[in-house]
Amino acid sequence: MSRLVAALFILIVLASLSSCASVNDYAPSQTRHPIAGLGSYAASQILASPDLAHQDDIVLLVAPVRVDGALPVASDHFREVLTRALLSQENAPQVISWVPEQDGQMLGAHQWLLSAQLDASFAPLGLTDRTLYPYQLTLVLHRPGDEAPRWQTIIEGAFDSHSLDNS
């Protein structure tokens, strides 16, 4: 009888340990953050632009981001996400939040002005369980004081309403 109790005790302990180990083997589920993903993708596109790809000591002046009011995304939040994404890239440039009053005050050979506009003037797509918000992100690089764009790209996609609630 004591062997049966001892064997049962060992089985219970092993079962408990194996269940604890299996819980720790899996990483916690991560919620998707579409704004952060868009910021990272945009940052990689910006730094791969022909004018910046082969230049050292880059200083990016990030202008205030214009975000369409139809999106539940604050313009300051997206600007911060884009700035952090730029700084997290390999060989990250120096990134400065630029305000219009600074125009012409810090002109240098390695400075670039980055303008971004997140447009959601497209009709939301209603699905059975969520809404998709189509967007178009326009990124423009030019020299401070020069309005002519040196590089421009457009990124298109759609935000899922559920994932925007979590970002």
Give the total number of structural domains in the chain.
1
In a domain, 15, yes or no: no
pLDDT in tens, 29-75: 344 588 899 999 999 999 999 888 777 788 899 999 998 877 778 88
In a domain, 17, yes or no: no
The torsion of the CA quartet 143, 147, 151, 154, rounded to 10 degrees, works out to: 130
Q: Which pTM value belongs to this model?
A: 0.73
Range of the domain at 93: 34-166
In a domain, 107, yes or no: yes
Rounded-to-integer distance, Cα 56 and Cα 30, Å: 35
In a domain, 27, yes or no: no
In a domain, 145, yes or no: yes
In a domain, 20, yes or no: no
pLDDT in tens, 102-143: 555 556 678 899 999 999 888 888 888 888 889 999 999 998
CATH at 84: 3.40.50.10610
